[in-house]
Amino acid sequence: MTTGRPGGPPPWRWMVAYLLAAFAIGGPAAATDPPNTRLLWTLLVVASLLGALAATDAMDRAVRRLVRLVRAIMSRNPDPRPRPPWWLRLPRPVRAIGLPAVVLVLALVIGVLAVPKAREGGYYLIRGCQPPPTLRVLTTPESLATTSALATEYERESAAAHHGCASADVYVYAADPAAARDALINGWTTESLQEVGPRPEVWMPDSTVDAGRVAELGRTAGASPVESARSIASTPIVLAAPAQAAPQADEPRTWAQLLRDADDARLPVVRPQPTRSTTGEVATELIYRSLSEDAEEYDATATRAVERQIGDALDRGRYTLGNADAVLCRHRDASQAGTAVVLTEQQLVRYNQGRPHGENCPSEDPVQADRQLVAVYPRDTAGLDHPLVRLRWPRTTERQRGATQAWSDWLGSEAGRRALVSIGLRPPVGGAGTTPLTEPLTPRWGVRPDAVFDRASPPSADVDAALDAYTAASRPARTLVLLDSSGSMATRAGPGTRFDAARSGVRSAFGTVGPRDQVGLWTFPADPGTTRPLLGIRAWRAGTAGPAADRALKKIRPADGTPLYRSIEAGLDALGRPAEGQVTTLIVITDGEDSDQGTPPDPRVLADRASAVGVRISVVALGDASCAGPALSVLTGGSGGDCENADSRTLGGALVDLLET
């Protein structure tokens, strides 16, 4: 330290020199390669302070020169003669060196303020990473995994471009397309918050079909949350066939021709359920239009025939009547190797790669090369034109708007387009340029990069008309709902108990039963006996099944144990063998495992028995029950049924989904 010597600088000047020396040592290192941990920052600061002790004398001499220079500039000239400009009165060395230095410093300051990268560097150097805004992105269950992968890549790239600080915390979640549409049209009420999740800034459905429905209903209601929508990528709907059984033809075939060829060759064809899958509903419109040869109305005879063809294949293969993930989860079984599936190209690629398929197939399961599917592209096919829909809500902050814009811009950038290709989607052609279709859109994974198809999805009105035709052509349903009324169903859940939530869900779901369908309701346990029939299995006049179920359930008080397997056995006895052309399902709503003290039937035996006669066992799992449990997965997977994890808020929607299949 120089302040201890006689004649040394005053303390203030020494401190100024010391701090300037510290900044001169640590500043360049922090600006060019900033530390990314608290420990490294601490080491840099300590090293700068220690190094400044040795450099203080040299810095003090520079400070003294600067002080003398300032005094010379500020001193007054007593000569009354006209004075030359101040810069000409400076000493010659100052004019030669000092003025260029000042100009250089000013240029650097202006550059830092004007150049965004330099300005951001200074900002992050001073303040560090600030908590990024949360960007909520709503998508479909079929696209949850791929949209999450996009979000992860965006966060990584934005952090790399902003000194390790991500531009947004992207929260991706999924909702059934119908539930998402209802929530958006209703303004995202408190009920929507409970059943679907937080209000999104961005909606990414699988097709503009859903965006068009919301926009149209919004115009009818006088308000729509849709601010803008644009397609960011597309994927064609294809017939995914086993390589050894893929239809061969010199010229591309239509959907109608491919299905006839498959029927003639005894090649089973399955498709995701149109009421539960965007892939399924758009594929149904394409197939029906092809069957009708573009006539103004669909051919009812042809649509019934193709639904019988697909329905028989679903039954024989014990496929779940669900979305594409549910179908592909079942298709992993080796016994399904000889079945073709109506899918998107993206779904086919992910199947061949062995990717997970929803929560019931969460593990990687690579597909052997000889069991991979290959894409057949009908000449009249079209695609799912995945849109990015920006939503407009009251009290949206500027940071959220900025995060939404940045996410949208990135998806349209070259980096975003490459990320879209990496998850199996085809970016738009033209505009920002053409992005090469690289892995995984290659023949290695069963696709043709040069395939030609209509990238736009059919209009919403056409898809809705196809769904009406599907309802008329599909097989009638016969369903028995078996409701757990054991003591654990009296557990509090939300404003009431689990049983209260189940009663409300049954009332709502029974209100959707169609005139061609039959439904009944039992509870278990009973005293005496195992089950208590409340409503017989029969057809109901419109609007009568829901109130009847509610009146019957008001008399039930949850008590006793859970004879789950014996109750399922009794339900199978009551359903018997289904009539030809009928979908028969036993739906169980339960919150626990079997607690029968005797010798209950084995769940595998029950699943095999149900499968042998063509009855599907489906489950709504509440509370401690879980679809991931071995018993429920055996019951549902072994019979071609479905399993839905639910709580008091989502039980009604889950039951509606199962009844609609």
C-alpha pair distances (Å), 160 with each of 118, 155, 166, 401, 510 = 15, 9, 8, 21, 53
CATH number of 475-660: 3.40.50.410
pLDDT of res. 250: 64
Per-residue pLDDT, 293: 82
| Topology alike, domains 134-234+386-445 and 475-660 | no
589: CB partners within 8 A, 6+ apart:
481, 482, 483, 484, 502, 505, 506, 619, 620, 622, 651, 655
CA dist., res. 618 & res. 597, Å (int)? 24
Task: Record the pTM.
Answer: 0.80
- Contacts of 55 by beta carbon, 8 Å cutoff, 6+ apart: 21, 24, 25
Question: Domain 238-381, what architecture?
Answer: 3-Layer(aba) Sandwich (3.40)
Higher-confidence position of 223 and 620: 620
DSSP assignment string, 574-597: HH-SPPTT-EEEEEEEESS----S
* E strand or H helix that includes residue 96: none
With beta carbons less than 8 A apart as the criterion, state whether 95 and 87 touch.
yes
Asked which of 49-58, 320-329, 477-486 is least confident by mean pLDDT, the reply is 49-58
Residue ranges of domains in the chain? 11-127, 134-234+386-445, 238-381, 475-660
Spell out the residues 6+ positions from residue 165 whose beta carbon is closer than 8 angstroms to its own: 124, 129, 130, 132, 159
Q: Are strands 340-344 and 134-139 parallel, antiparallel or unpaired?
A: unpaired
Give the closest residue to 353 by CA, choosing from 444, 238, 244. Answer: 444
Q: Are 15 and 1 in contact (CB under 8 A)?
A: no
More confident residue, 269 or 431: 269
What's the sign of the alpha-carbon dihedral 295, 296, 300, 305?
A: positive
Q: How confident is the model at residue 195 (pLDDT cuts 50, 70, 90)?
A: confident
Tell me how far apart the alpha carbons of residues 277 and 285 are, in angstroms, rounded to a whole number.
13
Q: Is the pLDDT of residue 430 over 90?
A: no
Dist CA 647 CA 396 (whole Å): 30
- DSSP at 625: -
Residues 6+ apart with CB under 8 A from 96: none
Q: Which two tokens stand for residue 636?
A: 């549902």
Q: Note the residue count of the chain.
A: 661
What pLDDT does residue 194 have? 86
- CATH code, residues 134-234+386-445: 3.40.190.10
Please provide the distance, in angstroms rounded to a whole number, between the alpha carbons at the two ends of the chain.
Answer: 84
- Structure confidence by residue, pLDDT tens digits, 101-154: 665 565 455 554 444 444 445 555 555 678 899 999 999 999 999 999 999 999
Task: Determine the 3-state secondary structure of 661 from DSSP.
Answer: coil
Average pLDDT of the chain is 86
Please state whether the peptide bond connecting residue 525 to the residue before it is cis, i.e. omega within 30 degrees of 0.
yes
Alpha-carbon dihedral of residues 178, 180, 186, 191, nearest 10 degrees?
100
